[in-house]
Amino acid sequence: MMKRSYVRTAVLAVFLTLVLAVGMAANASAAPGKMKNLILATTTSTQDSGLLDVLIPIFEKKTGYFVKTIAVGSGQAMAMGAKGEADVLLVHSPAAEKAFMAQGNGTARTLVMHNDFIVVGPPADPATIKMTKGATAAFKNIALSKSLFMSRGDNSGTHAKEKGIWKAAGINPEKEKWYQQTGLGMGQTLNVAAEKKAYTLADRGTYLALKKNLGMDILNQGDAILLNVYSVIPVNPTKFKKINADGAKAFADFILSKDTQKIIGKFGVEKFGSPLFFPDAGKKEESLGK
């Protein structure tokens, strides 16, 4: 009899947990629903660097919006915007952004901040790119020496930038054996490149964040072509009814505000000794890197 009642209690406990869980989940999804949701589609680097973890709570507190940050590649973020599935974009793929704007998908495209891309690789540097001047020349060397190169291959801003450099170098690496695509985010691509002793193009922020475990060096940097520019684009509400236009505008205003720009400028100094992003609100794109 003792055993039976024990079993019964256990079954009851499991059942109650389930019921509780259902209630909890329903509750959890109901609570923020009362606020106005704002979908921010952005690149992985802003999330992986930890910048958004700092900025979003401040914005939510100030405005009362509930931000759903969907961190994907810049390409996918813009695709979401083009379908009206996101309200505001924070992306870093200038050529694609211009096309996005030309199609009337965004209301405005405003410069937020920049950092730069870097070419990283094994310290042994088999393609001797450390000595070369400029990223284009470095890419040429990699191709000539047929050194392994890891591409993101995911239509992200970094991927777009990398393709731009190959184009500038006059090389089409797509079908080469030494050219491989991971299809993964920046962090994972860096890990793969480190494991395979390959070169890759990375944004400085993510590289700095991962540096301690990688064993990879910055082998080429500073070229104007390596500039990494982040812009904010509120999605055009005239195309889709469900766009939270006010929220998108509020977010753009927030990220361009003086206070926020100050936070961006200081972000990462404590941890890495240097900032990860440089605030650019009010500047013109052409003026950067000069």
Partner 1 sequence: MDLILEGIKQAISLLFTLDPEVLGITWLSLAVSGAATGISLIFGMSVGTTVALTEFPGKRFVISLINTGMGLPPVVVGLFVSIFLWRNGPLGFMEILYTPTAIVLAQAIIATPIVMGITLAAIQHLPRNLRLQILALGATRLQMVWMLMKEAKLPLLAAVMAGFGGVISEVGASIMVGGNIKGYTRVLTTATVMETGKGNFDIAIALGIILLLLAFAINSLLTAIQQQQRPR
Per CB under 8 A, residues contacting partner 1 are: 3, 6-7, 10-11, 14, 17-22, 24-26, 28-29, 32-33, 37, 39, 44, 47-48, 50, 53, 56, 66-71, 83-85, 184-188, 190-191, 206, 209-210, 212-214, 240, 242
Measured distance CA(287)–CA(262) in Å, rounded: 20
Please name the amino acid found at residue 46.
T
* Separation CA 196–CA 253 (nearest Å): 43
Q: How far apart are CA 289 and CA 134, in angstroms?
A: 14
Task: Supply the minimum distance, in Å, between the C-beta of residue 33 and partner 1.
Answer: 7
Q: What gap in Å lies between CA 283 and CA 260, rounded to an integer?
A: 15
Q: Which of 50/265 has CB closer to partner 1?
A: 50
Question: At closest approach, how far in Å is the CB of 191 from partner 1?
Answer: 7
CA atoms of 77 and 71, how far apart (whole Å): 8
Closest of 189, 154, 149 to residue 171, by C-alpha: 149
Comparing CB distances to partner 1, the nearer of 44 and 180 is: 44
For residue 220, the minimal CB distance to partner 1 (Å) is 21
Q: Which residue's CB is nearer to partner 1, number 19 or number 224?
A: 19
**Rounded least distance, CB 85 to partner 1, Å:** 5
What is the residue whose two structure tokens read 């990223």? 135
Q: Give the whole-angstrom CA distance, residue 60 versus residue 46.
A: 17
Query: Which lies closer to partner 1 via its Cβ, residue 185 or residue 279?
Result: 185
Name the residue nearer to partner 1 (CB basis): 69 or 128: 69
Give the separation between CA 143 and CA 137, rounded to whole angstroms.
10
Nearest distance, CB of residue 73 and partner 1, angstroms: 12
